[in-house]
A and B are shown apart, each in its own frame.
Chain A
Amino acid sequence: AQSVTQLDSHVSVSEGTPVLLRCNYSSSYSPSLFWYVQHPNKGLQLLLKYTSAATLVKGINGFEAEFKKSETSFHLTKPSAHMSDAAEYFCVVSDLDNQGGKLIFGQGTELSVKP
């Protein structure tokens, strides 16, 4: 069975400093992995996705993630945090074994950005 584990429930950074949100996955085959962001009272927005192409994936708003098979990790990074980055972030694996694939979400990491 596939699963994702987000290693931090809450991360706090200062504006202008780097962001690192950690995610480990478990999958019996080559997974499709995603990061979604959820701002308060808003829906989920796709930040980036990995689907077995380049291992370094660039997303929107300056975020990127690196797929490391040997470490079963898919950590999300951003060089410089902005106040508008404060939100809940979800690491997600897609169950592509079944056509169409349900999404399996991690528990989420709340990112706070201090001025």
Chain B
Amino acid sequence: DAGVTQSPTHLIKTRGQQVTLRCSPKSGHDTVSWYQQALGQGPQFIFQYYEEEERQRGNFPDRFSGHQFPNYSSELNVNALLLGDSALYLCASSDNGRGSYEQYFGPGTRLTVT
């Protein structure tokens, strides 16, 4: 049973560019959450998707957007990249359909903005 997978593993972008990160949830999970972890910090909640809709959002600008597909996989898009967007981006999945809120994390995508 595959856990949460994310792609790519690493990414280098230039300021002003756009980036798309991808996440496949654990089998049987219907909810995907995204977190940003800056170096030396705890992860910060970006948003959560359930039933293909953004259900909850953290304190991030509109440059951060997402999408959830019918197979529950998800994308995180960041436009107009800033140096401060350099971080580890973590995806977590959970089975909210069964009322279980335990979140399982993927290995993350390391984004470097130069």
Contacts and interface: CB of A to CB of B under 8 A. Distances in A.
Given A100-B56, A102-B56, A43 B106 contact: yes
B101 A101 contact: yes
A107 B40 CA distance: 8
Contacts of A94: 101
B36 to A, nearest CB: 11
B103 A103 contact: yes
Given A100-B31, A106-B42, A42 B56 contact: no
Contacts of A30: none
Interface residues of A, number: 22
Nearest to A36: B105
Contacts of A96: 101
Contacts of A43: 4, 90, 105-108
A46 interface: yes
Interface string B92-111: 10101000011111111000
A49 interface: yes
Given A32-B101, A99-B96, A100-B94, 9 more contacts: A42-B107, A44-B43, A96-B101, A98-B56, A100-B55, A102-B58, A103-B45, A103-B92, A105-B43
